[in-house]
């Protein structure tokens, strides 16, 4: 006869697990309980909850993690899930994919990489998105301003985009940082307590990758330079083999909980990678480009790891260059995103991933429209000289200049780098930027916290001397 435990003790364990979508270990549960039982008793209670399907256990032994069972959202529902997640309306075709993937991996048909899935796509003849879908996305994503240089829209909302996209893309990888944790890390360099440093590294890599795409918007494209460097930035300090960052895969890889087996021959991987880049570069519609790379890049698995992260940021290349609203994956549930990617891997079907893409883009576009409205109309002069202002301010801070030295540096730099008609106003704005620099905004100049701290002390001392 199975052992029974007091219901209040079992509910206390469920409460300790609730709100942890990626699961917690037995030790973390014990730490969260008001009065933790002996370890063996806790293990018996956890087994009872798993047997009754009130908890799900993943892994074994000391590495086992416990989570609440997944509750499937109702089609078309909009109820909020865990932090950062919402229910996504799923098409009948998308539900077919989900139904297939509910089978255990061992019960699904083992499949390898299907080269015909890529080879059969004909740019501007084949489409993953219908004409109506592409037109709709263009309508919701195009800002209401006249033609501007590539990357203008993304630069206007960069501070918000850095946090949104870094957090959401990392969250989809299982990163446990909250949005607030992410903001503190990006703006102040503060790592969240009790978290793995690899999580902070993942988020900071996203920040660097986004800044790379936005700051070089006129140079990036769906080419080797952009994609390999994007991978190198996102994989920085995260791979066992550091030389694999920015390099195509030379080793076999497996996909967890999947019946899909990626390519293993390096020469074939490289050939398919080049073919994929040729196809996506030839696509004329920016939204079809974005979705194509979300489908084909993870499917190929061209890198040792970090493939999905590269695909999510690569999807923004055409959007940033075309001055459309970026795609931040705001609210996308990790579980359904994983299912959508597996649907591509195992079935070569894009329906579920398309459901997510359409829904997520509408949500992102609405968010950044509101952000731009709250920011007001940008100053054209500041926009024109944005990179120059960032350069001169960063140079002054990194050099730890006091007020007198900074004034001389701005005058000298302006004389050398700025056209005569703009020099006086540029110098005035640069000095104003320095005066308004504080701990809540210095990150936008790509200044490190340690550099800012040294400069601020020097700046304050020179101000005190001037007042004496």
Query: Considering the domain boundaries, does residue 21 fall inside one?
Result: yes
Query: Are 129 and 58 members of one domain?
Result: no
Q: Residue 402 sits in which domain range?
A: 380-467
Distance of CA 179 to the CA centre of its chain: 12
pLDDT at position 72 is 42
Output the domain CATH number for residue 109. 1.10.3290.10
Provide the CB-side half-sphere exposure for 19 (13 A, CA). 7
Query: Are 235 and 273 members of one domain?
Result: yes
- Res. 287: pLDDT tops 50: yes
Query: Are 59 and 115 members of one domain?
Result: no
Query: Are 369 and 397 members of one domain?
Result: no
Query: Are 168 and 302 members of one domain?
Result: yes
The position carrying tokens 């998105």 is 129
Query: Are 191 and 176 members of one domain?
Result: yes
Q: Give the pLDDT confidence of 253-266 residue by residue, as tens digits.
A: 999 889 999 999 99
Give the pair of three-digit tokens for residue 87. 């229910």
Query: Are 264 and 346 members of one domain?
Result: yes
Instruction: Report residue 79's pLDDT band, with 50, 70 and 90 as the boundaries.
Output: very low
Query: Are 183 and 275 members of one domain?
Result: yes
Query: Are 207 and 231 members of one domain?
Result: yes
pLDDT at position 25 is 87
Query: Considering the domain boundaries, does residue 82 fall inside one?
Result: no
Output the domain CATH number for residue 26. 1.10.10.10
Measured between alpha carbons, how far is 150 from 326 in angstroms, rounded to an integer? 13
The position carrying tokens 């019960």 is 107
What is the number of domains present in the chain? Answer: 3
Provide the CB-side half-sphere exposure for 323 (13 A, CA). 13
Of the candidates 356, 375, 394, which is a domain's last residue? 375
The residues pairing with 261 across neighbouring beta strands, listed in sequence order, are 112
Query: Are 204 and 173 members of one domain?
Result: yes
pLDDT at position 59 is 79
Measured between alpha carbons, how far is 62 from 64 in angstroms, rounded to an integer? 6
Query: Are 118 and 177 members of one domain?
Result: yes
pLDDT at position 425 is 86
Q: Give the pLDDT confidence of 25-36 residue by residue, as tens digits.
A: 888 888 888 777
Query: Considering the domain boundaries, does residue 77 fall inside one?
Result: no
> In 84-157, where does DSSP find H-type helix?
92-101, 115-119, 131-141, 152-156
Query: Considering the domain boundaries, does residue 262 fall inside one?
Result: yes
Query: Considering the domain boundaries, does residue 269 fall inside one?
Result: yes
Q: Give the pLDDT confidence of 156-192 residue by residue, as tens digits.
A: 899 899 999 999 999 999 999 999 899 999 988 889 9
The per-residue pLDDT of the chain, averaged, comes to 88
């Amino acid at each position: 006869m199975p052992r029974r435990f007091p219901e209040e003790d079992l509910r206390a364990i469920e409460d300790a697990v609730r709100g942890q979508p990626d699961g917690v270990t037995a030790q973390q549960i014990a730490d969260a309980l008001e009065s933790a039982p002996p370890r063996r008793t806790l293990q018996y209670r956890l087994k009872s909850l798993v047997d009754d399907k009130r908890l799900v256990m993943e892994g074994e032994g000391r590495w086992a993690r416990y989570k609440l069972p997944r509750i499937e959202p109702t089609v078309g529902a909009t109820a909020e899930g865990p932090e950062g997640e919402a229910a996504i309306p799923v098409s009948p075709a998308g539900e077919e994919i989900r139904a297939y993937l509910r089978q255990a991996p061992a019960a699904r048909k083992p499949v390898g990489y299907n080269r015909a899935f890529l080879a059969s796509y004909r740019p501007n003849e084949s489409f993953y998105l219908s004409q109506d879908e592409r037109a709709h996305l263009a309508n919701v994503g195009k800002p209401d301003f006249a033609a501007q240089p590539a990357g203008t829209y993304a630069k206007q909302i960069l501070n918000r985009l850095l946090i949104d996209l870094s957090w959401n893309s990392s969250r989809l990888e299982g990163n446990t940082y909250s949005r607030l944790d992410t903001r503190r890390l990006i703006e102040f360099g503060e790592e969240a307590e009790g978290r793995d440093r690899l999580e902070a590294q993942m988020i900071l890599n996203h920040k660097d990758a986004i800044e790379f795409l936005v700051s070089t918007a006129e140079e990036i494209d769906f080419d080797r330079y952009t994609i390999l460097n994007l991978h190198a930035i996102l994989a920085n300090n995260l791979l066992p083999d550091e030389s694999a960052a920015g390099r195509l895969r030379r080793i076999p890889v497996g996909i967890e909980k999947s019946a899909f087996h990626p390519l293993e021959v390096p020469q074939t991987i490289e050939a398919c990678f080049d073919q994929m880049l040729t196809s996506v570069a030839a696509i004329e519609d920016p939204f079809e480009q974005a979705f194509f790379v979300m489908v084909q890049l993870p499917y190929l698995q061209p890198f040792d790891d970090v493939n999905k992260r590269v695909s999510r940021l690569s999807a923004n290349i055409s959007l940033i260059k075309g001055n459309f609203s970026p795609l931040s994956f705001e609210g996308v549930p990790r579980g359904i995103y994983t299912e959508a990617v597996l649907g591509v891997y195992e079935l070569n079907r894009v329906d579920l991933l398309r459901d997510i893409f359409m829904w997520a883009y509408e949500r992102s576009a609405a968010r950044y429209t509101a952000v731009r409205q709250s920011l007001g109309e940008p100053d054209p002069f500041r926009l024109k000289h944005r990179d120059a202002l960032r350069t001169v301010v960063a140079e002054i801070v990194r050099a730890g200049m006091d007020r007198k030295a900074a004034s001389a540096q701005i005058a000298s730099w302006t004389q050398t780098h700025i056209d005569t008609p703009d020099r006086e106003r540029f110098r005035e704005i640069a000095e104003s930027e320095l005066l308004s620099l504080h701990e809540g905004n210095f990150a936008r100049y790509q200044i490190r916290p340690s550099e800012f701290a040294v400069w601020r002390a020097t700046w304050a001392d020179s101000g005190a001397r001037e007042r004496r």
